Structure 1
């Protein structure tokens, strides 16, 4: 009789232990398992990347440079330069100098690697910078593949810092009420072209409310 009671108590103990074990597993699975390490640098970078990285097709790159009539004496600034293909092409094909601006260090590393492979490191450079804080005054050509709201926000800076006659070419998006001097379709994509005027209308210089 005593042996039967001991076996019953043992069975109850095993059942309780199993319930506790299952409960612990469920607790770890549904909310209390260790969280991934927080990296504030990554979060900050994600907030700063206003434009997703989508490379411009090479035929569009080449036509953008043709429309801008890029030559050996030009300095091409590509804002949001990604893998560097636009300024690298300008250097390879026309002997132009180029500056690529991108806030993403991964893209800068990739662009530098591509420039080295193309043999144009003496003509191009890539800067990890915020394009809104970059001095653009030495550019003779500026290329863009951003977003409509970024183009509008950038417009006053372009008109303020660029010399009259500087050429601006944008892939896919315009600049609000600043009428382009030329619009083309290439490989299903739209290219917009402007030339900075001698005197900029005040309405174009004013900061756009976004």
Structure 2
């Protein structure tokens, strides 16, 4: 594994925002959720605990992966989630039914070709705080987290036809 540096620093998402994101995407036990830039694993773990979904976290930082695996074990969901140390721009997430993003706008845009190449129509995408260029979201929600932070949640459903982004 080559030792690449993360493109952004790690900022954990408040748990009430994680819950709002899961609700927005209507995550359920039939879903395979990918969290791209998964940090400590809280999104995939919450999806497994609360919704019965399977979760896959992708992060380039080996320390974040170690912590996420430990957190999954402590939460009792190691059988439903996995964490992979990978460059998210080189990973295969084609089996995803839900994608979660908390990346900067330029990174979201860089992901667009992969999203449209790999994801099936109907796959749900939720992004915390950052849109995806001029791809109009199906829903946008403004909220204030329990940590008193203003956040925007963006929600898209992968269309049959590729929009111009």
Q: Shorter-chain TM-score category?
A: over 0.9
User: Larger helix proportion, structure 1 or 2?
Assistant: 1
Larger radius of gyration: 1
Is residue 154 from structure 1 mapped to residue 111 from structure 2 by the alignment? yes
Aligned-residue CA RMSD (Å): 1.0
Is residue 96 from structure 1 mapped to residue 53 from structure 2 by the alignment? yes
Structure 1 runs of 4+ aligned residues shifted over 3 Å read none
Aligned residue in 1 for 2:147: none
Unaligned runs of 5+ residues in structure 2 are 145-149
TM-score, with structure 1 as normaliser? 0.74
Is residue 86 from structure 1 mapped to residue 43 from structure 2 by the alignment? yes
Equivalent of residue 140 in structure 2, options 183, 195, 198: 183
Equivalent of residue 30 in structure 2, options 59, 73, 77: 73
Aligned residue in 1 for 2:20: 63
Q: 1:160 aligns to what SS in structure 2?
A: helix
Q: How many residues align?
A: 159
The offset of 1:186, in angstroms, is 2.0
The offset of 1:127, in angstroms, is 0.1
Greater relative contact order: 1 or 2 (C-alpha under 8 angstroms, separation 6 or more)? 2
Aligned residue in 1 for 2:155: 193
Distance 2:15 2:107 in 1: 23
Distance 1:197 1:172 in 2: 22
* Preserved contact between residue 59 and residue 186 of structure 1 (Cα < 8 Å): no
Written as runs of structure 1 = structure 2, the 5 A alignment for 1:1-210 is 44-45=3-4, 48-187=5-144, 188-201=150-163, 203-204=164-165
